[in-house]
Structures are given as C-alpha cells and as structure tokens.
Structure 1
Amino acid sequence: MGEGFALALGAGLVAAVNPCGFALLPAYLATLVRPDDGRAAAVGRALRSTAALTLGFVAVFGTFGLVVAPVASSVQRWLPVFTLVLGVVLAAAGIWVVAGRELPGLRVLRTGSGRPLTDRWWSVVGFGASYALASLTCTIAPFLAVVVTAFRAGSIGQGVALFATYAAGMALLVGTAAVVVAVAGAGVVGRARSAGPVLARVGGAILLIAGLYVAWYGFWELRVLYGGAGTDPVVEGAAAVQRWLAATAEGLGWVGLLAVLVAVAGATLGLTWWRRRRA
C-alpha cells in the first residue's frame, strides 16, 4: 500500500475516535441492541447501519473539504455552537429514555414494535452527519492534508481513491465495533428478554452521558475560542480515554480490525446456518 493510502486509511481509522466526537460512538452503538433479532439479523443490521453512518460522516467531510475549506476560518468558529446544541439534544433524549419513554421512531430494547433508528437508513445518515460536524474541529486538518491535497494537485483519480480509503478506514473501525456489540447484545437479550426495559434505560443512560460530555466539550471549545480558557479536568479525563482508544485502533491496524470483523460475522452466520440445517 502506498504511503498516501496508508496515511488515508490510518486517518480514517482514528476519525471515529477523535477527541471532539468520540463520545458519540457509544451512543450510536447503544441503539444496535434489540430483543427481537437473532445474531445473524444483528450482524446485517450493524453492517447496514455502519454503511449509513459512514456515508453521512464522509459526505460532510467531502463537502467541507472541497467546498467550505476556502472559508473554513469563518465556518469553524460556529462548530462549537453546533457541538453544544447537539450535546444538549442527545442528553435530553437520554433523559427521555431513562424515564421509560420511547423516542419517536426509535424503539430499541423494547418489544420490537415500530422501526428503530438503525432500520431507518436516512436517520443513521443524519446521525453520521452530526457526528462529522461535531468532529470537524479535531479531524479536518489530517483529512485536508491527506485527501483534499490530492484533488487540488490535479490528481482527481488519486483524490477519489484516497477519499474512498479514508471512508473505508472509518467504516472498518465503526463496523467492527458495531458487529461485536450487536452480536453480543443479541445473545444477552435473547437469553433474557425480560431485561429489555432495563437495557433500554442503560442505553438511555449512555446517551445521556455522551450528550452531557459533547455539550460540555462544545462549551469548553467556546470558552477557549472566546475567553482563552485553559485545560479542563472533564475534557482531559475524556481525552485520556480517547487516546487509549486511538492507540488501540492504531495498534490493531486495519488487518487486525478486519480479522475481528470477519471472525465475529463469519462465526455468527456459520452458527446460524448450522442450526438451521439441524432444524
């Protein structure tokens, strides 16, 4: 693999766990556990959702990199405001779910009635776009350096290939996490369906914590931008977790992540096929 493509793949791998938006990843993964799916269905849903999330994420990055970058300085100052608002919305949604309510169109860990968020393609695309907007401040620089530079140098073909490689890196990390969580969750809930309402509140708590952190991070960015604020203990503590996640992703590399994804998905589908043959 050429150096440029290796850099693009590595940048995509760590894009999902960037300091600005990494808290949104567990919020997304919490929506993948449902009581009415077997493991094979969970794998399919996780892969479809990953494709939709990645589409929304890279669409924002592509638009920003190719169209908005010339006026990036005037746009980026508003990104912390979006991050703050997004965090408040997610926290409010988390409180709603913890209280035992169902979000409109998001019926997860319940009876399986209705169509959950992860079955609504454009809902997940929108979540991916929000994920990207919250992440732009931290990840746009490597994206511009690795991908957009090739476009502006006149190499359209190489630029497209690098862009696809960047997207593949992110999809691989998110997809691996999504498949593992969906399969594990399906197994747990499948053995204890009565735990569905409890797990729903757990998912809501995850959403609440993620939303509070995202809102706090946006507020901290605004204080840094306009008030010259220094380090923050909450941000620093979360950054330590983020650095560990990023180091783990880089340590596994695309080969390790792909091996995990293939092993989990392959074992799940193989076991499902074998059980059907026996039945």
Structure 2
Amino acid sequence: MTGTLLLALTAGMLGAVNPCGFALLPAYLSLLVAGTSDTRGAVGRALTAAAGLTVGYVLVFGAFGLALAPLAGWLRPRLPWLTVTLGVLLVVVGCWLLAGRRLPTPGWSARAPRLTRSWPSMALFGAAYALASLGCAIAPFLAIVVTSLQAGSTGQGLALFGAYALGMGLVVAVAALGVALLRDGLVARLRVAGALVPRLSGLVLLLAGGYVAWYGWYELRLAAGRRDALHDPVIRVAAQVQRALADALDRIGPAVLLAALAALLLAALVAKRAHRPRRP
C-alpha cells in the first residue's frame, strides 16, 4: 500500500506539469502575482490560491473518472476546443494587463483586485487547468485511483485520491509561495516594480495562453490526420521543456518538495518578524 501511495503522490506531482497543461502553471502564477497589490499576507494568499487550484483540479479529475468515464468517447474529441478557448481567454487577460489595466473586482471594491485572491476563483482556474490537462494526465489517474475505487477498495481509493491531490498541491504550493515571496521582496525594494509586475504578469499570461491555444489547435490537427502537426516546432520545443520539468520533479521526489515548502514557510516567518515594527 505504501508503494502505491507513493506512486499516486508522484503521479500527482507529474500531473502538475503534464504536456497538455503545463503552460497553465506559469499562467496561474502570473494571475496570483498580478492580483496582489500589497505586501501583507503573501503566505496566506499563496497557500489559499494553491489549495483552491488543487481542489478544482482533482475534483474535475475525480468527476471525470467516476461519473464521466462512460462519456469519455464523446468528450475526448471535444476537449481540444476547450483548450483553445481557455488559451484565447488567457491571451485576452494578458493583453488587458499589458495595457496597464487591473483585473476586475466582482462587486466588492474598485481598489485592490481580489479576483485572484479568492479561493473560489482559484478553484475555477484549477478546474480549467484540469480540463486542459485531461487528454494527457487522465490515464495515470484512472489507472491508479479510479481502478481501486471501482474494484470495491473504497478506503484505498480515497487514500490514493488524497495522495494524488497532495502531489499536485505540493508542486503548486512551492511554486506559488516562492513566487509570492519573490514578488513581495521586489516590490519592497523597488518602487518601480509595483508598476512593472502586473505588466510582466500580463506578458507571461499572453505567452502561456498563446501556447495553450496552439496546443489545442495541434491536437485538432492530429485528430484530423494532418501530417504537418507531427513536426510542429512550437510543440517540439515545448515538449522538451515539459520533459525536463517532469524529469526534474521525478528526481527531486516528494520529500525534497516538502522540505522546500517548509523552508519557504520558515523564510516567510523570519521575514515577517524582521519587518514587524518594534514597540518602544
């Protein structure tokens, strides 16, 4: 059982950088950075956003594996269109930020944008992340988790589901916390960074969204039997980057990721105490 749990944990880690959706990880980090306008609560924002994204991701996978598997034949040919749509939406958001605009605040305040701070919005982004990743990452999930549930091993299946979610969440949390602390440190030292960060985030979103839309188009061309898709230079370069990330995560393993998360949390705690005003 321990070996199977470790396998599910590793599968969740690799699911965060799957070939279909790995470009959405920097897109998510860009949304997280662009949506923070103060240097308070970086740890809380990053961990809340990571938890929301992870929950959205694994719930979509769970729903697909348990309830939608019989419809997989009908859904699979239509998934690339969802990928293209998601990519185009990210390109639009990236252009919006590049133009110096802020993300909209749905009904609370016109000051700091809260769209990317809220747990539900990150869960929705995680669901979109999962939809873009289904074509590449659903097979390991089905093989490890759903097979155990369908075989009647409910306890083991739920444990594997939790391990998969933990693996995904580890990668996202380490990346989110590292980026949030780096962003807050830059803004604290450079006033101009406060104006540059949203635009740089917009550029990352633009590039990531463009790749996601292109990948969906690539899948549609493959399904249509077009041979030019087999030699797509964009996909070839991106596949090399994705394989390097996946190999690095596989070599690092969950223990090192947990240690990195603990070190980042400790660094955040030390920084918070260092900046706390002293009482006279």
Aligned length: 272
Q: Given that residues 35 and 193 in structure 1 are in contact (C-alpha distance below 8 angstroms), is that contact kept between their aligned partners in structure 2?
A: no
Letter in 2 for 1:131: Y
- Give, in angstroms, the shift of residue 193 of structure 1: 2.7
Q: Which residue of 1 aligns with 2:219?
A: 221
- Give, in angstroms, the shift of residue 201 of structure 1: 0.9
2:204 to 195, 203, 206: 206
Q: Which residue of 2 aligns with 1:170?
A: 168
Quick one: distance in 2 between partners of 1:170 and 1:119? Answer: 20
Quick one: distance in 2 between partners of 1:248 and 1:171? Answer: 17
Q: Which residue of 2 aligns with 1:117?
A: 115
Q: Which residue of 1 aligns with 2:132?
A: 134
SS across alignment from 1:266? helix
Q: Deviations over 1:199-227 (max 9, x none)?
A: 21110000000010000000000000123
- Give, in angstroms, the shift of residue 85 of structure 1: 0.8
Q: Which residue of 1 aligns with 2:241?
A: 241
Quick one: distance in 2 between partners of 1:255 and 1:262? Answer: 11
Q: Which residue of 1 aligns with 2:78?
A: 78
- Report whether the alignment pairs 1:24 with 2:31: no
- Give, in angstroms, the shift of residue 271 of structure 1: 3.4
CA distance 1:274–1:212, change in 2 (3 Å)? closer
Q: Given that residues 83 and 213 in structure 2 are in contact (C-alpha distance below 8 angstroms), is that contact kept between their aligned partners in structure 1?
A: yes
Letter in 2 for 1:73: G
Q: Which residue of 2 aligns with 1:61?
A: 61
- Give, in angstroms, the shift of residue 35 of structure 1: 4.2
- Give, in angstroms, the shift of residue 278 of structure 1: 4.3
Letter in 2 for 1:18: N
Quick one: distance in 2 between partners of 1:273 and 1:206? Answer: 32
Letter in 2 for 1:36: D
Q: TM-score, normalised by structure 2?
A: 0.93
Quick one: distance in 2 between partners of 1:180 and 1:4? Answer: 29
- Give, in angstroms, the shift of residue 97 of structure 1: 1.2
- Give, in angstroms, the shift of residue 228 of structure 1: 3.7
- Give, in angstroms, the shift of residue 114 of structure 1: 2.8
Q: Which residue of 1 aligns with 2:184?
A: 186
Q: Which residue of 1 aligns with 2:264?
A: 264
Quick one: distance in 2 between partners of 1:251 and 1:42? Answer: 29
Letter in 1 for 2:10: G
Letter in 2 for 1:27: A
- Give, in angstroms, the shift of residue 232 of structure 1: 1.2
Quick one: distance in 1 between partners of 2:43 and 2:21? Answer: 24
Q: Which residue of 2 aligns with 1:5?
A: 5
Quick one: distance in 1 between partners of 2:84 and 2:32? Answer: 25
- Give, in angstroms, the shift of residue 195 of structure 1: 2.2
SS across alignment from 2:231? coil
- Give, in angstroms, the shift of residue 32 of structure 1: 2.7
